[in-house]
Chains A and B, each alone.
Chain A
């Protein structure tokens, strides 16, 4: 059973460019969240996707946008890159639909994509 996968593992961009990061959730999971982790810090929530719609958003500018596909995979897009966008971008998945009483809290993280903006 594959866990959460992300691509690419590393990426180098220059200021002003645009980037797309990809995530495939754990098998059986239908909800994907994206987090940004700056060096030496805890992950910060960007947004969450469920049923192909953004369901919750953290305190990030509109330059950060996303998409979820019918197969539950997701993309994170960042436009007009800034130096401060350099970070590890993490995808986490969980199962929202389930039997009554199913624990929906548990989120599993992927290995992340290391983005460096020069």
Chain B
């Protein structure tokens, strides 16, 4: 089955710096890759997603890139702010609406 690995497990940056989180997946048939942000005591919140027919997607300070050949995708956050501090999860699934397979998460800390 699908396996998703996420790196790094923790990431500390200064306010205004960029942050990059990387994920690799094992199932070449996976075609949907969402990113979720989870704050303490809350459920995961979808922040951006990308489908396999697109190489890059951007939404304000957040962007996601996908390399299907290498089977990896990355989350880029520019001009980080303290409120970006949270746990970020990548995920993948093979078919629309089926189970999401999550990475283990990255704890991002943005210090001012």
Residues of A within 8 A of B (CB): 4, 6, 31, 33, 35, 40-45, 48, 56, 58, 90, 92, 94, 96, 104-112
Contact = CB atoms under 8 A, between A and B. Distances in A.
B43 A58 contact: no
A6 B42 CA distance: 11
Interface size class of B (residues with CB under 8 A): 20 to 34
B74 interface: no
A105 B34 contact: yes
Given A105-B34, A105-B49, 6 more contacts: A33-B99, A104-B96, A104-B97, A107-B46, A108-B46, A111-B43
Interface of B: 4, 6, 32, 34, 36, 41-46, 49, 51, 89, 91, 93, 96-105
A56 B99 CA distance: 8
Contacts of B49: 105-106
B51 to A, nearest CB: 7
Contact of A43 (B32, B89, B96): B89
A58 B104 contact: no
B97 A43 contact: no
A111 B41 CA distance: 8
B96 A45 contact: no
A78 B73 CA distance: 35
